A and B are shown apart, each in its own frame.
Chain A
Amino acid sequence: MMLTVDQVTKNFGGLQALSSVSVSFRRGEFVGLIGPNGSGKTTLINCITGLYRPDGGAIRLGEETISHLPPHRIYRRGIGRTFQISKVFNRLSVLDNLRIPALTEGRLRRHEVQDRSREILEQIKLEHHGKTNAENLSGGQRKLLELGMIMMTDPRFLLLDEPFGGVHPELKSQLEDYLCRLNREGKTIVLVSHEMPSVFRICERLVVLDHGVLVTDGSPEAVRSDERVINAYLGGSYDEA
């Protein structure tokens, strides 16, 4: 099953946050989505997950166009995401946070939900915080909780917006391992991150955005030596290159 972004454009007033971006993510890929601040990475994820409606173009999952669907339907088709600025439910306990996505999945029985949340708490290193309110977690723990929440329903696609932000360095390598394991188990992962060493280490393909334009799409080696990417990160416009 392929997730295809087809010439998607998104404007905010006069600002073109995405200009006719086309990219597709194949099953089992581990893709890094990178680019300088304000280049449109989060906007692209918001379009895919239904929070923003593209002004032009379409997003397809397999043959089906999903860009007109509301967010909860897109989620139920197996596309999960995390947020750059964590969105956890502060006044709910960690366990209740995990229950939310599971409750929307009618197929899961009560004991299945319990088993699964116990399993996931362990994976995200929050096994002693099940009863803690999410507001009392550290920034890094919230990031992990977000990942845990979507893992409750086992989506095929994981779109992760800065999952390492605020995560303790020690935990970070564990999180990297966890992501790699998920990927080996067949999950398609799109990783947005400013942490270049991690991105280059774990991604097999990099997509680079700059000013809403897709600049490069290729292997880390190719991207590393791409002049346009270097220029984008140095602040220049690639037109001048």
Chain B
Amino acid sequence: MKRIFPALLVLAALLFPFFFRDYWLYVGIIGLYYAILASSWSMLAGQVGLISFAHAAFAGIGAYTSALLVIHGGLSIPLAMAAGALAAAVVGLGIGALTLRMRGPYLALTTLAFSEILRIFITAEYQLTQGSIGLKVPLILDGNKLVCYYTGLALFVLTLVVLTFLIHSRVGLLLVAMREDEDGAATRGVDTVAYRLIAFVVTSAFAGLAGGYYAHVVGLVSPQMVRIGEMGLILAMSVFGGLESLLGAALGAIFLQTLTEYLRIFAEWRLAIFGALVLFTLKFAPEGILPRAYLYAERFMDRWLSRAPR
């Protein structure tokens, strides 16, 4: 089960465009955007214990940076997307350096304020951003859906690989130690501020990367991207899928993103439904619904296999 499950997932992801066209393929393309955001956010919240409300904002920074560089700078889309990720990282470094020295809710509060300031800034800077109308952005290969999908998949895999590598590196070990006991780590020589900052900057960069991808597959970026409601969605996806596992959070994202499509008739009420889902998850399966479901499936499989005649 442990080995079959990821293999099945990879296969399903690779074959997805052959079974779903047009509308659902588009849903998949957007789903990958949220999958990158949710897995990187859950790494920050779950592994480091940092609650950032600026993840959607960093995606916005990545999106606008990439869009503007392509439109005004004439940069190629891949280069511009990389620059978008870099821009998010730089802003993350600034915010992190200002707040991560302090413990407690400072990061949450600062990032919340930052998101709103950014949204207002984007809306007001009409000359640059077209305000709330949104900025038209060139598409990847004129919006070829297959290319868009596989680009998203590649970026998503890149995110998982880099973050998993980070978790299993010495940085990851020190982050676990810090989360277990901050004073304990600091008095054994761990520069806790620096390692928190590394985690914050790296995950912010991936949010920026996701944003650039979003801009060039949707073709339109607007202040809607950095609404606090978007942040709520990312949070709901991560909690639902499980903060302890990157893949879980990513699957949570894809699941809720699909659900969003079915719940379209509920319009603004969808967020309330997701809010309820988060509360339900935290109460009954704090490690995430998907890891819990996986556990049950595994047990069921084991029992079933042991009963089957050999």
Contact = CB atoms under 8 A, between A and B. Distances in A.
Say whether A and B bind each other.
yes
B302 interface: no
B181 A72 contact: no
Contact of B180 (A51, A75, A83, A90): A90
Given A72-B192, A100-B177, A51 B184 contact: no
Contacts of A3: none
Given A72-B186, A87-B183, A103 B174 contact: yes
A25 interface: no
Interface string A15-50: 000000000000000000000000000000000011
Interface in A92-113: 92, 96, 99-101, 103-105
A141 interface: no
A100 B181 contact: no
A70 interface: yes
A75 B173 contact: no
A8 interface: no
A49 B173 contact: no
Given A89-B177, A92-B177, A92-B180, A100 B186 contact: no
B49 to A, nearest CB: 13
- For the residues of B in contact with A, the DSSP-based class is helix
A218 to B, nearest CB: 29
Nearest to B173: A96
Contacts of A153: 189
Interface string A137-151: 000000000000110
A206 interface: no
A92 B189 contact: no
Contact of A100 (B183, B185, B191, B193): B185
Given A72-B192, A75-B188, A81-B187, A99 B180 contact: no
B170 interface: yes
Interface residues of B, number: 18
Contacts of A80: 188
B176 interface: yes
B190 interface: yes
Contact of B189 (A75, A88, A90, A91): A75
A105 B189 CA distance: 8
The interface centre, meaning the residue of B184, B186, B188, B190 with most chain A CB atoms within 10 A of its CB, is: B188
A92 B186 contact: no
A89 B178 CA distance: 9
B8 to A, nearest CB: 29
A104 B189 CA distance: 6
Contact of A71 (B177, B181, B186): B186
A111 B183 CA distance: 28
A76 interface: yes
Interface in B185-205: 185-193
A92 B173 contact: yes
A88 B188 contact: no
A104 B193 CA distance: 13
24 contacts: A50-B186, A70-B186, A71-B183, A71-B186, A72-B191, A75-B187, A75-B188, A80-B188, A83-B184, A89-B176, A89-B177, A89-B181, A89-B184, A89-B185, A90-B180, A96-B173, A100-B174, A100-B177, A100-B190, A101-B188, A103-B174, A104-B174, A105-B189, A150-B188
Interface of B: 170, 173-174, 176-177, 180-181, 183-193
Interface of A: 49-51, 70-72, 75-76, 80-81, 83, 87-92, 96, 99-101, 103-105, 149-150, 153
Given A51-B183, A149-B188, 11 more contacts: A51-B186, A72-B187, A75-B189, A87-B183, A87-B184, A88-B184, A89-B180, A92-B177, A96-B173, A100-B177, A103-B170
In the complex, the 7 A-B pairs of residues with the closest C-beta atoms, listed nearest first: A87-B184, A104-B189, A71-B186, A101-B188, A75-B189, A89-B180, A89-B177
